[in-house]
Amino acid sequence: MARHNTSSDSGGFLFKTGLFALLAGVAFWVFNQFGGKKTPELPSSVPTTEIPQGNQNGPASGTPNPTKVPDNILPHSTTGVVVRHEYFALSYHEDHEQAEWVAYELTRERLNQNWAARPNTFRPDPAVRTESATPRDYSGSGYDRGHLVPAADMAFDAAAIDATFLMSNISPQVRTFNGGVWRELEECTRDWARKFKRLYVVTGPVLTQKPLGAIGFSKVTVPASYYRVLYAPEAHKAIGFVMPNALSTRPVMDYAVSIDEVELITGLDFFPKLLGGLNEELEGSLDKDAWPVSRQRYEKRVNEWNKQQ
């Protein structure tokens, strides 16, 4: 009768089991690093509150509201997922893995403060319960990680500018659009905030149009266009913009439209608590002369910014 080497068999089994566990662990790590989503801990410096549908005027029960964003500037959320950071709020659209709108207040006082350093710390937004897109979704895509709330608009505070690099505030933009006409519109917006003292800003991707495609493991929608609506409460003036996600040599004001037109294109309702009733006619008006632009900046964009790759 042959003898059974039970000790050797047991050792071999344990070795194979350990090796399998090691390989499985490595595979899981690679998946998380290069394909899957992560859910990091919420940094204490970036307070947030997620508001479910039907309770957009304040935080969830028992949760303190750290936001400095006025409630009355928020559009209606079509998804019911409103995330409030300290200096801006957003409505996250899980189907497109980006915000359908971001809303914030832009003031002359904040813009005149010393600017904090730009951190470039792109990372998932842990306040989005369904998980936001990740920086890796954009890697090798050919698209920029385009800010919806510009970093420069929040540069008055280190924590505020850092929050603009959360991926819930990012959308895939053509590079010559992001660094071209969209950049010019952002700089114009800061000029107008200085001129009017205060602006309420709502901006985002146009998700009702056929997209240019999708990128990354998360299938982030690449919008065909972007919009921005502005309301200057002290001056009682409003304007909207809709811009294709593409290189442009046209003046910024070629893209100016009434807020009513932006609402028709996006299906969103902007400033419903501010521009209703007697103020509703402002949504349908368009006075381009009230919003001056720099000819020198336009020429710089066409001759320099558009050619940067």
Q: Which residues are catalytic?
A: 147
- The CA distances from residue 23 to 20, 26, 27, 28, in Å, are 5, 5, 6, 9
Residue 215 burial (CB count, 10 A): 20
Parallel/antiparallel/unpaired status of strands 82-84 and 89-93: antiparallel
Is residue 221 within 8 Å of 277, Cβ to Cβ?
no
Q: How far apart are CA 100 and CA 207, in angstroms?
A: 7
Q: What is the 8-class DSSP label of residue 189?
A: H
d(CA 200, CA 108): 12
Q: Dump strand ranges (E) for 108-183.
A: 144-147, 170-173
Which residues are within 8 A (CB) of 37 and not within 5 positions of it... i.e. 6 or more apart? 124, 131, 132, 133, 134, 217, 218
Q: Which of 32, 38, 9, 306 is nearest to 175 (CA)?
A: 306
